[in-house]
Structure 1
């Protein structure tokens, strides 16, 4: 069983997948930063100063010993108060849309590059190179010799 597992792990597509997951995780952090630090503040500014990350609905009671802010989603969540964090959901939905759009652009670019490469390869195969003057001259000599041999 260990040999089968080792053979499975050493296959190329498994290694490619592992690399893709690691790169994807790093890319996810970049997109999260882009969303949290650039896009959501702009959306908040355009919508009148709304901060989506702090929008929530409290679903339970606040502990008696709680001393934090009643409007802080992070503090209430840390204290164990059940919350419906729809603002965080909006942030994650925007994150997803950004990632999906960037992946769409990448796949589109790769498809265009592959199509262009296929067109170039087809053009090279379809159009034979022009014959050189030497080849043309040798054909004429051959044809002349054949014509003399028939006479």
Structure 2
């Protein structure tokens, strides 16, 4: 049971996910500091003379009815900045490294690869049946349908 758990933890995807969470958390702290130090004061400029910030009041005499738009904009900016940083610092280099060091022949499409597999299987089947055709011919089965 412990060996299975160890294998699970040491799988590449789990380790990559853990690293991404830790790095993502660190970037969130940096981006939050950036937005609270720079973006929020800029949004406050658009809030006008309202001391509550960027937003609008539903009922003039009740401060509890103030709808704040600034924190929503700040959260959206946080999300976009974190996503962009993670994409350009982690995902793009990982894709480039994967393409550079990949041994797979990526010039073939999936359909071309499936056609090659089909042709190889048909050739192998024809050799074992004593035929010399390189492509399998459809054979009617018991239901009248043609199978390969």
Of structures 1 and 2, the one scoring higher in RCO (CA 8 A, sep 6+) is 1
The structure with the largest helix share of the pair is: 1
Say which one has the larger Rg.
1
Provide the TM-score with structure 2 as the length reference.
0.45
The structure with the largest strand share of the pair is: 2
